[in-house]
Amino acid sequence: MATDSSLFSGSMTMLILKLLEQKDMYGYEMIDTLTQRSNNAFEMKAGTLYPLLHSLVQKKCLEVYQDDASGKMRKYYHLTAVGQKILKEKTQTWHEYSKAVVRIIGGECYGN
């Protein structure tokens, strides 16, 4: 991530799971998608992503399958029911904390 990433450390898992809720993706694709959708606010590093993906597979949050059709090795990740549950929990927690931060630092407020 860019600049002062520490402000949002811990949210990486949530963001990855959210991307995979919409469609199966391979690692490099996730990095690009995150960068685009966040307008460069997030620049996830490969060295952060791949170990994270491996651990999420181990925790049964993701399933992986390989596709070499294009000649390049691509490992696609698919969100499981377990992963979906974790995503829901993390998202809820995020909104809760986000609202609490806003109550303290003021400014904009997040719905629901």
Partner DNA sequence: TTGACAAGTATAGGTTGCCTATATATAATT
Partner DNA sequence: AATTATATATAGGCAACCTATACTTGTCAA
Residue entry with tokens 């927690």: 93
Judged by CB under 7 A, the residue of 22, 39, 58, 73 near DNA is 73
Those residues whose C-beta lies under 8 Å from the C-beta of residue 62, and which sit 6 or more positions away, are: 20, 53, 56, 77, 78, 79, 80, 83
DSSP letter at 61 equals S
> Considering the complex, what minimum distance in angstroms separates the CB of residue 110 from DNA?
19
- Note whether 86 and 17 are within 8 A (CB): yes
User: Taking contact as CB under 7 A, which single stretch among the options 24-32, 81-89, 91-99, 100-108 is the one that binds DNA?
Assistant: 24-32
Neighbours of 38 (CB within 10 A): 14
Residue matched to tokens 């609490």: 100
d(CA 45, CA 10): 14
Query: Residue count at the site for its own copies (CB under 8 A)?
Result: 40
Q: What residues from 22 to 61 belong to the interface with its own copies (CB under 8 A)?
A: 34, 37-39, 41-42
Q: Are 52 and 13 in contact (CB under 8 A)?
A: yes
Near DNA by CB under 7 A: residue from 9, 40, 93, 98: 9
The interface region with DNA, picked from 6-14, 33-41, 85-93, 97-105 by CB under 7 A, is 6-14
What number of chain residues touch DNA (CB under 7 A)?
A: 30
Interface residues toward its own copies, by CB under 8 A:
3-11, 14-15, 18-19, 34, 37-39, 41-42, 90-91, 93-105, 107-112
